[in-house]
Amino acid sequence: MEKTVHVSNKGATLDTNRRNFLKLGGAGLLVAGLTLAGCRDEEMAYEQPDSIFDLGTGDVGILNYAYALEQLEADFYTKVVNNFYSGISSAEKQVFIDIYNHEVIHRDFFKAAITAAGAAPTPNLEFKYDGVDFNSRTSILATAKALEDTGVAAYNGAGKYIKNLDYLVIAGKIVSVEARHAAAIRDIINPGSMDFAGDDVIGSNGLDVAKEPKDIVAAAGSFFKTPFTWKEQGIG
Amino acid sequence: MNLLTILDKLSDDKFFSTETSRLGSLAQFSDFGKKAAVAAIPLGLGSFMATSAKGETTQEASFAAASALTDALQLALTLEYLEDEYYRLGINTSGLIPAADKVVFQQISKHETAHVVFLKAAISSLGETPIAKPNFDFTAGGNFQPFTDYQQFMTLAQAFEDTGVRAYKGQAGNVASNKAVLQAALQIHSVEARHASKVRRMRMNKGWVESNNGGNMPAATNAVYAGEENVTQAGYNTSTLFGAAAGSASFDEILTGQQASMIAGLFIS
């Protein structure tokens, strides 16, 4: 049965400051933005018989996709900040702590958002880091760069599949932070260069990379120990 | 069509937040003195927007009309014209940018030029005429001297880039009806964010915006950062885990079309 979906087309529940949000929603509507958005029953993520999780369909699928990627980033930076490479500068340490904070917040946000939408969030995924040396500055920076650039390309490519405009704005709020991360990591790797927005990621038309979900999962797949499918996007 | 016409048309901004926050932004702009008069022109639309902001419609009905699509692109083009001219003038001003930093601003400039070309083509392809480049006054009525003072040049560069990030984000709903345009807008949006991060770091700031503190920025640019202190995202409190600074920085905020236009308008003579 399709629920009646009412969302504010002004995005007021998402975009105003705290005071206005409370005025609109009150304490009883702490998850107002996403609860109101709701989802259709057929958009629910579902558990398959063989227990391999499918990300789902519609906006829930996109949210679970973002959640899976944010889980990866959060997991990676958790390992980084719990075992800084030797000789790390205080400036680099601060950058990694900040990024770790942001990615953990993103991760927990998506879990809350998917739950609030009445759907099943992707389970806690396990990751593997073959070839990554957590004691090596070079290895950690290169991995961070790859993950941040991947995050930017993933959100840039997924935006067009988002139906609920409130979710689209949320994705926009996150992707620019990922891009800020990417530029900072690139700046640390090669300061005083054009690499912060290098020609390897920005085309001659001035556009950043956008990748389809199946290409993202293929590119980042080596990090995922826990398998999942996203049949709607031809993954798995 | 001039910018103010665009402003009028963008008054039906679907992500316009509240009259309260708009008035807060305007209070910041009073720092600019006479320029604030220009910024105040669209104010007559305030009551309409405050009313309509309370309305609710179904999800399907929330896509913007076709004119909102091209109006959003015209606003983007205006902002890109501004950035493009700004960096070109900076690069061409002898002795302004230290040799070591030139590579950075040349790269940014290259992207802004490409964005102008791209947006003009996109607008034309949708059957509209791209807005003409306005005449810019980068002193904002004598408040800034960006082409004689490198620190001010970087200050305004940061303001423009952080504004661009927020402005594109604020138009997401207006371009969502056209998937190709939406994706391209997102692809420009993240480039602006990369630029912003780099320029911020050159100014010894973090690449991201914590609270509404732009980072050693003059009060005249407060409107660029107003609202960035938000720590509530769809009801989720982002400050719970690591505090308000990290929480606010983990999500960038939007500028409405009107807010972005007002900031741009300060630099249009």
Among A49-58, A104-113, A123-132, A153-162, name the one with the lowest average pLDDT.
Answer: A49-58
Write out chain B residues lying below 8 Å of A34, CB-based. Answer: 234-235
* pLDDT tier at A233, thresholds 50, 70, 90: very high
What pLDDT, on the 0 to 100 scale, is given for residue A51?
85
Which of A17, A29, A105 shows the shortest C-beta gap to B21? A17
Q: What is the mean pLDDT of chain A?
A: 84
Write out chain B residues lying below 8 Å of A108, CB-based. Answer: 236, 241
CA distances from A60 to B140, B182, B183, B237 (A): 46, 20, 20, 21
CB contact under 8 A, B56 and A6: yes
Q: Give the mean pLDDT of A68-89.
A: 98
* pLDDT tier at A50, thresholds 50, 70, 90: low
* pLDDT tier at A191, thresholds 50, 70, 90: very high
Which of B115, B176, B234 shows the shortest C-beta gap to A31? B234
Residue B108 CB burial class (10 angstroms; 0-12, 13-18, ≥19):
buried
Greater confidence, A133 or A31?
A133
* CA angle in degrees (0–180, nearest 5) for A84-A154-A85: 10
ipTM metric: 0.82
- CA A216/CA B156 separation, integer angstroms: 36
Left if phi > 0, otherwise alpha if psi is -120 to 50, otherwise beta: which for A52?
A: beta
CB contact under 8 A, B234 and A184: no
CA distances from B225 to A106, B1, B201, B247 (A): 21, 29, 17, 15
Computed on alpha carbons and rounded to an integer, the radius of gyration of chain A in Å comes to 18
Segment B93-137, tens digit of pLDDT: 999 999 999 999 999 999 999 999 999 999 999 999 999 999 999
Q: How many CB atoms lie within 10 A of CB B60?
A: 8
Q: Give the mean pLDDT of B211-219.
A: 97
Instruction: Give the DSSP per-residue string, B188-225.
Output: HHHHHHHHHHHHHHHTTS-SS--TT--SS--GGGHHHH
Are the C-beta atoms of residues A208 and B190 closer than 8 Å to each other? yes
Are the C-beta atoms of residues B7 and B258 closer than 8 Å to each other? yes
What pLDDT, on the 0 to 100 scale, is given for residue A162?
98
Which residue bears the tokens 């900076």? Answer: B90
- Nearest-CA neighbor of B205 among B188, B187, B221? B221
Segment B68-99, tens digit of pLDDT: 999 999 999 999 999 999 999 999 999 999 99
- CA B197/CA B108 separation, integer angstroms: 12
Are the C-beta atoms of residues B69 and B174 closer than 8 Å to each other? yes
H or E element: which one contains B120? helix B99-125
Length of chain B: 269
Write out chain A residues lying below 8 Å of B246, CB-based. Answer: 98, 101-102, 105
Write out chain B residues lying below 8 Å of A179, CB-based. Answer: 189-191, 193-194, 197
Chain B window 170-189: which residues touch A at a Cβ cutoff of 8 Å? 172-173, 176, 179, 182-184, 186-189
What pLDDT, on the 0 to 100 scale, is given for residue A217?
95
Runs of H (alpha helix) within chain A: 12-15, 18-25, 32-37, 58-82, 90-116, 137-158, 165-189, 213-220
Q: Are strands A6-7 and B57-58 parallel, antiparallel or unpaired?
A: antiparallel
Segment B20-65, tens digit of pLDDT: 333 333 333 333 333 333 332 232 222 222 223 333 333 333 455 6
Residue B216 scores a pLDDT above 50:
yes
Q: What is the mean pLDDT of chain B?
A: 83
- CA A116/CA B170 separation, integer angstroms: 24
Residue A216 CB burial class (10 angstroms; 0-12, 13-18, ≥19):
buried
Residue B52 distance to chain A (closest CA, Å): 8
Residue A83 scores a pLDDT above 90:
yes
CA distances from A176 to A154, A173, A215, B241 (A): 12, 6, 20, 21
Are the C-beta atoms of residues B129 and B115 closer than 8 Å to each other? no
Segment A113-150, tens digit of pLDDT: 999 999 999 999 999 999 999 999 999 999 999 999 99
Instruction: Give the DSSP per-residue string, B135-163.
Output: PB-TTTTTT--TTT-HHHHHHHHHHHHHH
Q: Does B37 touch chain A (CB under 8 A)?
A: no
CB contact under 8 A, A209 and B52: no
CB contact under 8 A, B198 and A6: no
What pLDDT, on the 0 to 100 scale, is given for residue B40?
29
Q: Does B103 touch chain A (CB under 8 A)?
A: yes
Chain B window 2-21: which residues touch A at a Cβ cutoff of 8 Å? 14-18, 20-21
The residues with which A41 forms a beta bridge, in sequence order, are none
- CA B198/CA A32 separation, integer angstroms: 36
State the pTM of this model: 0.81
Task: For residue B69, give both structure tokens.
Answer: 């699509």
What are the residues whose beta carbons fall under 8 Å from the beta carbon of A26, sequence distance 6 or more?
none
- CA B207/CA A75 separation, integer angstroms: 22
CB contact under 8 A, B18 and A177: no
